[in-house]
Each structure stands twice: as C-alpha cells, then as structure tokens.
C-alpha cells in the first residue's frame, strides 16, 4: 500500500507528463497545418510534371528506347531501396510502419535472389534497419537541418546522389519507400519505383487529336533534362507527404497519451482519496477507543 505522499508525488508527475504531451500535441497540430499547406501547394506542379512525362513517354516510338533513366539498364538484378522516415520519434507507429514495409520489400527482393542495397533518409529508419541489414547500407541522408517545410534543397541533393549512383551503375532499379499522407488519421506506407522512371497510371494523358508534337531542341534532350527533375519532384513530394504524415501521427499519438495521462490521474486521485479517508477513519477509531478506555 503506497503512502499518501507517494501517491501525491505520482499524481504530480503524471500531471506534468500530461502537460508535456498536451503541448507536443498542439505544436504538432500547428506544424501539421503548415506541412499540409506546403504539400498542397506543391501538388499542381507534381501533377503537371507527371502528365508531361506521361505524354512524352507515351509518344516515344517503339524503336527508340530513350534515356536510361526511363528505359532502365535492361536488367533488374540490383535494387536500391530508399527508406524515407522522420528525424524524430514520439510519433506513434509512423516510422515502424514505413520500416515494416521496407522489410517486406527487402525480404521479397532477396527471396527472388536480387541484390539489395539500402539508402536511408531520416534518423529513425536508419536506427531500426541498421541492426538487421547493416551490411546492405550504402548511404544515409540527414534531414535534421531542413527548416520548416523547405525540402527542395534536400530533395534535389538526394535526387542528384541517386541519379549519380545510377549513372555509375551501382544499381538497376530504385524504389522509394515512404509514408503516403491519406488524411490526418491514416498514413499508408507505400513503395514507389523511381528509376526507371514510371509515369503514374492515373496521370491524365492528353488527346492530341491526331497532331504530332514539335520538340525544341529535341525529344531526347528534353527527356534528359526533364527526367532528373521528375525524379527530384517525386522525392520532394514524398518528403512533403512524409513530413505532413509525421506531424499527423505525432498529433494522434500525443492526443492518446494526453488522454491516457488524464485517466491515470483520475485513477490515482481516487486511490489517494480512498487512502486519505481510510487514514482519517483509522485515526478516529483510535481516538474513540482511547476515550472509551478511560
């Protein structure tokens, strides 16, 4: 039976925990709003870019293969898995779900006898995957110095690194595993193939009404400048979605924590009041029986 003082201390400590989780929840809610706005602002560009790529790729003749970024190396032996997670924890199962999806993908690929290389973005994924797959790691990108929701530098940097490695022949296929932001309550981990570039299936293709495209300078040159940018855009929008998802997951997790702390405080207060009442009753009995004895 804990003493009254112990109970009082516990109640106070749970109360301060609740204050912290409440504050974290509110910070996450404010950040979520900004992250969602940033993600929404970047969406028109990403969509248009996708439909332009779909158009171009669709109009490539059967005979011409186009740049390697589009057609691939002709093999799919070596896979690069890029795992995009957050820098900070306390976001519920957010990172765990992404890592789980990455594990599933890695296991499936190794099961098929492919060579897998892992590139992590964000500290949490690296921590969770390092134990099992440390020998497969080829690189890591730190996002801790990204300010606000400006992922453009980090995204372009990562895009350059990935396409550079591809040009060096380090891998044949690159897949990005990240958390897709569906809504505040659900973030779905997905695997998206980056290289060879794929035009999204749902991109609107435009009916040219029988006319043929005119390209300046030429279709190949346009594709060559467009594809790396397309990959960068995909990376940046994945980063934005993941950022928004992280804040949403943290907000939900902290909301739950705040509620749990509240319940715990109620339980502890009940126990405290009972213990106090029991003590008073005990003291009264002692006094009365002392008076009767006289």
Partner 1 sequence: MAAKLHFSLVSPAKELFSGEVDHVIAPGTEGEFGVLANHAPFMTTLKNGIVRVLENDQTKMRLFVRGGFADVTPAGLTILAEEAVDLASVDSAQVNAELEEVRNKLSAEGKDGPHEATLKAQIDYLSDLRAALAH
Residues that bind partner 1 (CB under 8 A): 41-42, 44-45, 48-49, 52, 55-56, 152-153, 206-209, 211-217, 219, 221-222, 225-226, 229, 233, 236
Convert 89-124 to b/e letters by CB count within 10 Å (16 or more is b).
bebbebbbbbbebbbebbeebeeeeeebbbbbbbbb
- Give whichever of 53 and 173 is closer to partner 1, judged by the CB atom: 53
Q: From residue 45, give the alpha-carbon distance in Å to each of 41, 42, 49, 180, 202.
A: 8, 6, 6, 18, 15
Q: How far apart are CA 100 and CA 105, in angstroms?
A: 9
Q: How far apart are CA 55 and CA 206, in angstroms?
A: 7
- Give whichever of 206 and 287 is closer to partner 1, judged by the CB atom: 206
Do the beta carbons of residue 2 and residue 232 sit within 8 Å?
no
How far apart are CB 230 and partner 1 at their closest, in Å? Answer: 10
How far apart are CB 42 and partner 1 at their closest, in Å? Answer: 6
How far apart are CB 240 and partner 1 at their closest, in Å? Answer: 10
- Give whichever of 21 and 237 is closer to partner 1, judged by the CB atom: 237
- Give whichever of 42 and 128 is closer to partner 1, judged by the CB atom: 42
How far apart are CB 84 and partner 1 at their closest, in Å? Answer: 18
Sheet holding 187-195, edge to edge: 137-141, 115-121, 78-84, 173-181, 187-195
Q: What are φ and ψ of residue 275, in 5° steps?
A: -60, -40
How far apart are CB 224 and partner 1 at their closest, in Å? Answer: 10
Do the beta carbons of residue 77 and residue 112 sit within 8 Å?
no
- Give whichever of 4 and 206 is closer to partner 1, judged by the CB atom: 206
How far apart are CB 183 and partner 1 at their closest, in Å? Answer: 22
- Give whichever of 56 and 70 is closer to partner 1, judged by the CB atom: 56
């Amino acid at each position: 039976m804990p003493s009254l003082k112990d109970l009082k201390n516990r109640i106070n400590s749970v109360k301060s925990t609740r204050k912290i989780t409440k504050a974290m929840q509110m910070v996450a809610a404010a950040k979520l709003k900004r992250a969602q706005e940033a993600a929404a602002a970047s969406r028109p560009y990403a969509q248009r870019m996708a439909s332009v790529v779909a158009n171009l790729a669709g109009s490539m003749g059967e005979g011409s293969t186009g740049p390697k970024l589009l057609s691939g190396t002709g093999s799919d032996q070596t896979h690069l898995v890029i795992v995009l997670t957050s820098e900070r924890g306390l976001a519920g199962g957010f990172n765990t779900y992404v890592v789980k999806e990455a594990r599933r993908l890695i296991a499936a690929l190794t099961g098929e006898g492919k060579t897998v290389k892992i590139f992590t973005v964000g500290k949490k994924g690296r921590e969770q995957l390092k134990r099992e797959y440390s020998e497969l790691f080829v690189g890591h990108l730190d996002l801790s110095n990204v300010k606000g929701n400006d992922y453009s530098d980090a995204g372009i940097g990562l895009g350059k690194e990935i396409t550079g490695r591809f040009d060096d022949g380090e891998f044949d296929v690159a897949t990005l595993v990240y958390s897709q932001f569906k809504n505040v309550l659900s973030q779905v981990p997905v695997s998206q193939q980056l290289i060879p570039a794929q035009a999204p299936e749902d991109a609107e293709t435009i009916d040219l009404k029988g006319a043929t495209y005119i390209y300046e300078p030429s279709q190949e040159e346009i594709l060559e400048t467009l594809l790396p940018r397309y990959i960068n855009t995909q990376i940046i929008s994945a980063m934005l979605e993941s950022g928004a998802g992280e804040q949403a997951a943290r907000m939900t997790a902290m909301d739950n924590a705040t509620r749990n702390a509240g319940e715990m405080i109620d339980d502890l207060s009940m126990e405290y009041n009972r213990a106090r009442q029991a003590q008073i009753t005990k003291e009264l009995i002692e006094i009365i029986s002392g008076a009767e004895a006289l």
